């Protein structure tokens, strides 16, 4: 098998025109080295980034119907960042197939995380051009399938109280209200219990080593409770 055939087996996609794959593997350093116009993978990287964002955004949108833009954006950032894309590129062995300048080769370009991430996006773009959106989507979901399996819950929110207020304000102008209902333990090791209410109804409770931590736990519990019915609602 040729090198490209081996790579296509790893990708799980056979190119009709392997020129697109070769272009995806061509590092910009080639153009600098030759000092003349040479096609390289930056345009494919640009295209692949857009396809990748669209596919993963759609999957998150459909998988988590109870979540708004904030947590969905955080979840997408967890899936698509330079570090994770470099891991995908390294796992597929893209580095060994890169077409590099001699200088880039000598400076470890085949294993540079930024290069592997860029090349992974370029490969996505090449698959899109060669096989269309569905082929690119199938490839992306194969690559990110295990990550989606781990996303039964979205990443822990950095600001659950803010997220809860945003969620509720989409339905009512009244903000959530927090109350400390109990505190126990010695001064150096207190445990607080808080409730969060909206429109006179208790939404959830939370505990923590400080009032702020207890309120955050209550907000997280309230968000989970409020979103469960939305996630379970049948498609119209």
150, 173, 200 - which closes a domain: 150
Residue 52 lies in a domain: yes
Ranges assigned E (strand) in 120-212: 177-184, 191-198, 201-208
The verdict on 10 and 116 lying in the same domain is yes
150, 178, 197 - which closes a domain: 150
Residue numbers of the domain that contains 170: 160-232
Catalytic residues, by residue number, are 49, 121
The verdict on 80 and 191 lying in the same domain is no
Residue 131 lies in a domain: yes
* pTM (two decimals): 0.66
* 3-state DSSP assignment of residue 83: helix
CA-CA distance, 67 to 157, in Å (whole number)? 11
* 3-state DSSP assignment of residue 192: strand
Sequence-separated (6 or more) residues with CB below 8 Å from residue 199:
172, 174
Tens digit of each residue's pLDDT, the chain (236 residues)? 358 899 999 999 999 989 999 999 999 888 776 666 778 899 999 999 999 999 999 988 888 777 777 778 878 887 888 888 999 999 999 999 998 888 877 887 788 899 999 999 999 999 999 999 999 999 999 998 876 655 555 555 567 888 888 888 878 888 999 999 999 988 888 899 999 999 899 999 999 889 998 998 899 889 888 876 554 444 44
């Amino acid at each position: 098998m040729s090198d490209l055939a081996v790579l296509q087996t790893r990708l799980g996609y056979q190119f009709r025109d392997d020129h697109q794959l070769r272009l995806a593997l061509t590092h910009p350093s080639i153009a600098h080295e030759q000092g003349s116009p040479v096609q390289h993978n930056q345009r494919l990287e640009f295209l692949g980034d857009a396809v990748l964002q669209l596919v993963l955004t759609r999957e998150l949108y459909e998988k988590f119907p109870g979540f708004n833009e904030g947590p969905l954006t955080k979840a997408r950032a967890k899936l698509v960042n330079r570090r994770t894309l470099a891991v995908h590129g390294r796992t597929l062995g893209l580095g060994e197939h890169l077409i590099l300048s001699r200088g880039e080769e000598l400076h470890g370009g085949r294993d540079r995380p930024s290069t592997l991430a860029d090349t992974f996006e370029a490969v996505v773009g090449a698959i899109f051009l060669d096989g269309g959106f569905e082929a690119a989507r199938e490839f992306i979901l194969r690559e990110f399938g295990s990550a989606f399996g781990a996303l039964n819950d979205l990443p822990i929110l950095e600001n659950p109280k803010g997220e809860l207020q945003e969620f509720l304000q989409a339905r009512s102008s009244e903000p959530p209200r927090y109350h400390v209902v109990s505190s126990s333990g010695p001064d150096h090791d207190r445990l607080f219990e808080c409730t969060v209410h909206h429109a006179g109804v208790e939404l959830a409770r939370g505990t923590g080593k400080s009032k702020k931590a207890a309120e955050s736990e209550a907000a997280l519990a309230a968000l989970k409770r409020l979103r469960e019915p939305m996630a379970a609602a049948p498609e119209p």
